[in-house]
Structure 1
């Protein structure tokens, strides 16, 4: 009887040990696959929508004096539903803030060769000092920043001053020296952004107005005042 109990105990221990090893092996295999995908640039999936605050598409400064070219409703917040004020045609206001909603999943670029980007908007050096984009990985265009450049989303971080003129299938000027290949949906230079400005009236009150939707700036009823 004692021998039978010993054999039973041994078999149970053997089974538990084999089960543990099986689970450990499965875990290691999944971890290896995850690391492999991370190296190939597939690990980080961009959000459906991404917000960029206080950076105007193109090359304009955020703070500027503007003149309304048509009546404008001012809302309590970006994408707000409550009208809190208005701007009359010909009225002068000041732009004090902005937010741009972008859609990175729509605009992927496959990286063809190693490329170093810049860290931020106000790069103080002509030498790239930001993220290194690896061949075979993907960067997602966020917003046009002027002079043919873009901000990109790369594994959860922003890559600045990406040259759009050397992206294949995106620019007619892209050559054999292209650093990337556009594989997203057809689009204009403005991509599919939605942009809102915060305007301050002469009495100090502020409100938000939408100026672009799906890359279309025909909603912007404002012009820069140079005086």
Structure 2
């Protein structure tokens, strides 16, 4: 009886140690297959802007909507009032090689004030916001200030002392984003138009109108 008790106790301690060793893996959740960033433009362009159509554009009732509510003719001037960027974090993981602290969204701090990326974990790229900087996904939240120059196997001109290594699918700097603009016509009619698919902005038949 005493021997059995010791065997059970030993097995319990081994199981407890195993669970504690893998606590991070057990608690960490996978990133979403798709995540939408609202009203923040790729390459950090301003959302509110006057645009001219360079081709006929159909306007839909919603991003990825099926109902055409209006259209824009070539040369027509419209106002961009909102945007939706569909990102795919599961496709773009980066293995963290060095611990580093990032920034909170829209932070004005001169020093990192956001989450800390832990050695051995994975952070997931969401969207390029210009000058080699990305928004990412880490521990169920957005993280800002991911410098592509420090990512091996992703950026052509990465640092000799990288903080991470890209282990996702082959892609461009735009990643696999899909982008929709909400556009307002001069008569007040609004609708949504897709301008990028799988990181390809050749669908964007709009150009900025200088004030």
Q: TM-score, normalised by structure 2?
A: 0.90
CA deviations 1:162-215 (Å, max 9, x no partner) are: 101110111122133111000001100000000100001111110000000011
Quote the residue 1:109 is aligned against.
Answer: 94
CA distance in 2, matches of 1:46, 1:152: 10
Contact 1:116 1:128 in 2 (8 A): yes
Q: Aligned match of 2:196 in 212, 222, 227?
A: 212
Partner SS, residue 58 of structure 1:
helix
2:136 counterpart of 1:152: yes
Gaps of 5+ in 1: 1-17
Radius of gyration: which is bigger? Answer: 1
Q: Aligned match of 2:46 in 57, 61, 64?
A: 61
Q: CA deviation at 1:48?
A: 0.8
Contact 1:41 1:138 in 2 (8 A): no
Quote the residue 2:80 is aligned against.
Answer: 95
Q: Aligned match of 1:131 in 109, 115, 129?
A: 115
* 1:1-227 equivalences in 2 (<5 Å): 25=12, 29=15, 33=18, 35-39=20-24, 43-120=28-105, 122-227=106-211
CA distance in 1, matches of 2:26, 2:120: 7
CA distance in 2, matches of 1:80, 1:142: 23
CA distance in 2, matches of 1:179, 1:215: 25
Shift in CA distance, 93/41, structure 1 to aligned 2, threshold 3 Å: farther
Q: CA deviation at 1:46?
A: 0.6
CA distance in 1, matches of 2:126, 2:99: 20
Q: TM-score, normalised by structure 1?
A: 0.84
Q: What's the Cα RMSD here?
A: 2.2
